[in-house]
Amino acid sequence: MDLEQLKSLIFSRPRILWIVLGAMLLVSVLPLALYHRQVLQLSQAKLTDTESVQQTEVTRSLAEEIQLFDTNLYQQLVSERQILALTGLINKVDDTERASQVTRVLENFVASNPNILYLTAVGKNAKGTGAGNFQANQDPFVSKALQRAFTTCLQSLVFRSDPLAIGAENQPAFVMAVPLEVDDQFSGMLAAVVSLDGVMRRLKETSVRGRVVFVVDLRGHIVAHPDTRQFVPGADARPSSAVVSQVMGLPKGLRTTETLRRFAAQDSGRQAEMIGTYSTIPDLNWAVVAQRSLDNAREDAGVKELNAQALRFVLVVTFAALILGYLFAVGISTPIRALAASTRAISRGEFHQRTPVQGAAEISELAETFNSMAGNIEEFIEQLKQAAAENRDLFLGSIRMLAAAIDEKDPYTHGHSGRVAKYSMLVGQQLGLPAAELDKLRISALLHDVGKIGVDDRVLKKPGMLTPEEFDLMKQHPSKGANIMRPVAQLKEMLPGIELHHEHMDGGGYPQGLCGDEIPMMARIIAVADTLDAMTTNRPYQSAMDLEFAMDRIRTLAGTKFDPAVVDALDRAIRAGKLQLSATLVEV
């Protein structure tokens, strides 16, 4: 090796491999002997803490899922009760002449909810009809639960039964019931036999590596357990877990999570030291319990092997490793910190940021690559912004063309969609809607009459008043429009304005008969803008009105047909001179 080669070797940038090898050899073999005893003492506590954290996460997550399941089930029963009320069946569920109608309503509900095994609606005399594959009257426990449910509903209370075991497989289930009322007077009960198969699947999914997760009520009875043969729903769970005994002492309605450490229990036929956690479900007075033996936790965490590795490291520890390792670490950390600072700048959107090229060969190469990448990202971001703007313009252009095509179907509504969109935007601005909501409002207003594509031209272009039958056909256009646009994911949030702009505040509108706050603000705004344009343009059935006369008519309908706040916003826009009538299509 000549002098030049020696200089080159000495003054060349060191390879990061040699730095890492030196650091691993000298720094990572710190004198573990001083800490080995502490490691042995702390490993058990840390293992217990880790298992406690995992159990806490599992039980809380499952408790929230079950709570959500119960809430959704209750809301579904309430919705079904409203359907019975809207169809006029709520006080006729025990009427034999209406039995087929009630049965169809119940069957539709059961068909749409796989968790419902059986659904029944009974009147004041506890007689009625039901739907579902499960024969409730053949199971004495279910029959008794339904009887208790009826007694509870007589008091206008919601009923949830104790855990039930159904069928030869001991399928976990329970009964939920809500009262039927007409004018605040009890008229019957709507009750469902609810399967907990979904809960069972989640329990089996989380019962892994020796951990067992199950659900109990506050009386210590099994609600659902992965092993349905040994732990039947309704059975006493206290002998198998000290955690259950602790759950039984809790007050009802309490939401809490607690871990019980180091208690003795049977595990796989032998006495073992366990750790267990419970999380309560207040509305149901249930609790999710998770428990696991510490032996399984030790094997899973590999504690024994970790201790052996610590002992091996003790054999090679040296005091010099700490000093030399520090020097090597400084050589690595300084350029890396600079690279990290540049990375953070890039993450904040400062794409012009570059990192200095210094340090070991690999780090310098990494810095150069990083700088090149940052430049490419900056260029790509600009291209993406331009492409996004072009796509948005194309999207809005397509919407405008579609709206114009719709208006062209009817010679009396030329430019109607554009004007409705313009008026809607002015009202939305007066109401202080954010820019994102205004954007959705504009698109929804442009497309509010898209359903007229599906209306017969003979009805749409009829030069005169429509017959009741023709008007019924015309009333279908909001629903048709929503159905046409529903497959387009980007228009999902615009559907309420398309489908519901003919709803009235007093519930007299169509297609759903919504009232008040049930009608989205988008639809309320478009309803007023649509009416204003219809009144101020020539139509087959009327001549165009002047603006002040049209506003007088709209004000008289505030509170019944229109939202008073929307009408007031339109009035303010007119008084401010922001709204001017135009018979031509407006660019929006």
Q: For every residue of 166-182, which 3-state class applies, written as one string? A: ECCCCEEEEEEEEEEEE
Query: What backbone torsions phi and psi does residue 474 show, to the nearest 5 degrees?
Result: -65, -35
What value does the mean pLDDT take over residues 28-33?
A: 54
Q: Is the peptide bond before 511 cis (omega within 30 degrees of 0)?
A: yes
User: Residue 352 pLDDT more than 90?
Assistant: no
Q: pLDDT by residue (tens digit) across 362-384?
A: 666 666 676 677 667 767 777 77
Identify the weakest region by mean pLDDT among 120-124, 225-229, 567-571.
225-229
Residue spans of the domains in the chain: they are: 1-29+318-386, 410-575
pLDDT band at 553 (very low <50, low <70, confident <90, very high): very high
Taking alpha carbons only, the member of 450, 449, 427, 431 closest to residue 534 is 449
Measure the CA–CA gap between 338 and 360, rounded to whole angstroms: 13
Mean pLDDT of the chain: 80
- The length of the chain in residues reads 588
Which tokens hold the place of 346?
């890039």
The CATH class given to the 410-575 domain equals mainly alpha
Which tokens hold the place of 444?
């929804």
User: Residue 305 pLDDT more than 90?
Assistant: no
Sequence-distant (≥ 6) Cβ neighbours of residue 585 within 8 angstroms: 404, 407, 414, 415, 418, 419
Q: Model's pTM, two decimal places?
A: 0.47
Which residues make beta-bridge pairs with 176?
A: 160, 192
User: Residue 584 pLDDT more than 50?
Assistant: no
- The pLDDT of residue 485 is 84
State percent of the chain over pLDDT 90: 32
- The pLDDT of residue 587 is 43
Q: pLDDT by residue (tens digit) across 406-437?
A: 666 665 566 788 889 899 999 999 999 999 99
Q: How far is CA 496 from each of CA 305, 441, 486, rounded to the nearest angstrom?
A: 61, 10, 11
For every residue of 478-538, which 3-state class applies, written as one string?
HHHHHHHHCCCHHHHHHHHHHHHCCCCCCCCCCCCCCCHHHCCHHHHHHHHHHHHHHHCCC
- The pLDDT of residue 513 is 92
Measure the CA–CA gap between 108 and 386, rounded to whole angstroms: 49
What value does the mean pLDDT take over residues 234-259?
A: 86
Structure-token match 């309490």, residue found:
254
Measure the CA–CA gap between 514 and 342, rounded to whole angstroms: 55
